[in-house]
Structure 1
Amino acid sequence: MGIEDGLWTRSRGAAYAEITRVAMELFLDQGFARTTIDQIAEAAGISRRSFFRYFGTKEDVVLGDLAVQGELVRDALEAIPLTVPPWEALQEALWKVDGLVGDDETMLKIATMMYETPSLRARSIEKHLAWQELLVPNIRRRLGGDPHAADGASAEVAADALVASAIACLDAAGAVWARNDGSPDLRTLYRRAVDSVRT
């Protein structure tokens, strides 16, 4: 990457972060549905057209980082020894990334907005499906077995189901956490969700 490319990338990253910051302030102040793209563009000092250079939809402003977080969870999972069982490895990887997301008060406001807004919920589920594709290969290795063997399909569906369940537990815990104003804490709710599925 040349100097000009590097400067362009940093400039684009700074603009992306600033638009996101301005938009999130508007969302949390007046609500997601009542905030328009035109309002975001005006507050950020850009044109409506420029907004769409950075974001495909208004929902992507809130959930754009979910795709990046999925990659971070995958990387954290890959760093955990294969001797650690799947459920425990997934939980460890999720919390390593959770610590990078932000303070609980802000996250609670964002979670409440997300779970109360149908379009955000739908987009969140879509992005979590992408997480599943990223995490399943590692869990297949943890479960062992040859994917090309006669029973390979059984091992494959087991890994898919386990990762889908772990993500569903995280989503369920998040919904309850938001409805109850952050109490008990998200990790406790996640562990309870997992325990109910594994029992």
Structure 2
Amino acid sequence: MRRACRPVRSACLSGAAGAARTSTRDIARTAIQSELAKVAFDLFRREGFEKVTVNDLAAASGVSRSTFLRYFGSKEDAVLGAVDGQGEQVADAVRARPAGEDDRTALRRALDTVTESYRQAPDGALAMSRLIMETPALGARTLEKQNGWRPVIAQALAERGDPSRPTALGPLVRAAAAVDCLNIAVNHWTASDGHLDLDDLLDEAFAALAPR
């Protein structure tokens, strides 16, 4: 029996080692990506987004152009990389809300997963928001990425209601309205130089959706 157990134990150890290596690679990639994004953001702020090329970003980061492009498909993505995963985060937060909670409240609370970074690092978030608002290419790319949030969030809403009607328009409309509320609140917060409370602005935006 001992002989039979050894290969299993070896395979388990091999699998664990493989998982550890994968995890280590992921951590290293995330750290490098974060550093590249910081360099890019600083350069955009100093020189202006339109004036900076991918070659400039690579040179400032001390890497080749091809290496930079392995981490970011475009210079827009170097600024907006974090936006991609936010739709899934909001959707997961919607699913985690109490079953009896109305969709509007669930959506409002789920958006706390996005605004948390504004609370934790308001200065950096304000600088980022200003750059996006002042750069048409970044604004357009942000909206493009957020378009991908809507069906994901809508699916989470549908699962809270009647999962047999996945094509119902209600969840998609509510998801789109929630994203618009977020953008309006962030724009007003940015215009106030961060003096207004972002959570209060978001509450006010959602209150406007309430039936009258």
Q: What band does the TM-score fall into relative to the shorter chain?
A: 0.7 to 0.9
Determine if the alignment matches structure 1 residue 11 to structure 2 residue 11.
Answer: no
SS of alignment partner, residue 197 of structure 1: coil
CA-to-partner distance for each residue in 1:71-105, whole Å, 9 max, x for gaps? 22222221112211111111111113422464111
1:145 and 1:72 mapped to 2: Cα distance? 20
Among 61, 64, 71, the alignment partner of 2:81 is: 64
Q: CA deviation at 1:179?
A: 1.9
> Deviation of residue 23 (structure 1)?
0.9
Q: Determine whether 1:73 maps to 2:90.
A: yes
Tell me, yes or no, if the aligned pair for 1:70 and 1:134 is still in contact at 8 Å: yes
The size of the alignment, in residue pairs, is 193
1:107 aligned counterpart, secondary structure:
helix
Q: Return 5+ residue gaps in structure 1 as ranges.
A: none
Aligned position for 1:38: 55
Alignment partner, residue 53 of structure 1: 70
Match of residue 46 from structure 2: 29
Equivalent residue, structure 2, for 1:164: 176
Bigger mean CA deviation after superposition, 11-20 or 85-94: 11-20
Q: Deviations over 1:87-129 (max 9, x none)?
A: 1111111113422464111101111110111111111111111
SS in 1 for 2:84: helix
Deviation of 1:145 after TM superposition, in Å, equals 7.3
Q: In 1, Cα distance between the equivalents of 2:112 and 2:132?
A: 20
Assess if the C-alpha contact under 8 Å between 2:33 and 2:71 holds in 1. Answer: yes
Tell me the CA shift for residue 138 of structure 1: 2.1
Q: Which residue of 2 aligns with 1:115?
A: 133
> Structure 1's 82 and 33: CA in aligned 2 closer, same or farther, altered over 3 A?
same
Contact 2:117 2:125 in 1 (8 A): no
Q: CA deviation at 1:51?
A: 1.0
Structure 1 runs (4+) deviating above 6 angstroms are none
Aligned residue in 2 for 1:181: 193
CA shift in 2, pair 1:7/1:96, >3 Å: closer
Distance 2:21 2:169 in 1: 47
Please, what TM-score do these two structures have when normalized by structure 2? 0.82
User: Per-residue deviation at 1:180?
Assistant: 2.2
Confirm whether residue 83 of structure 1 aligns to residue 100 of structure 2. Answer: yes
CA shift for structure 1 position 36: 2.4
Larger Rg: 2
Q: Structure 1 residues 187, 6: CA separation in 2 closer, same or farther (over 3 Å shift)?
A: closer
Determine if contact 1:115/1:121 at 8 Å carries over to the other structure: yes
Change (3 A) 1:145 1:46: closer
Deviation by residue 1:128-164 (Cα, 9 ceiling, x = unmatched): 11111211122123344741xxxx86xx111111110
1:181 partner SS:
coil
Give identity over the alignment, percent.
33
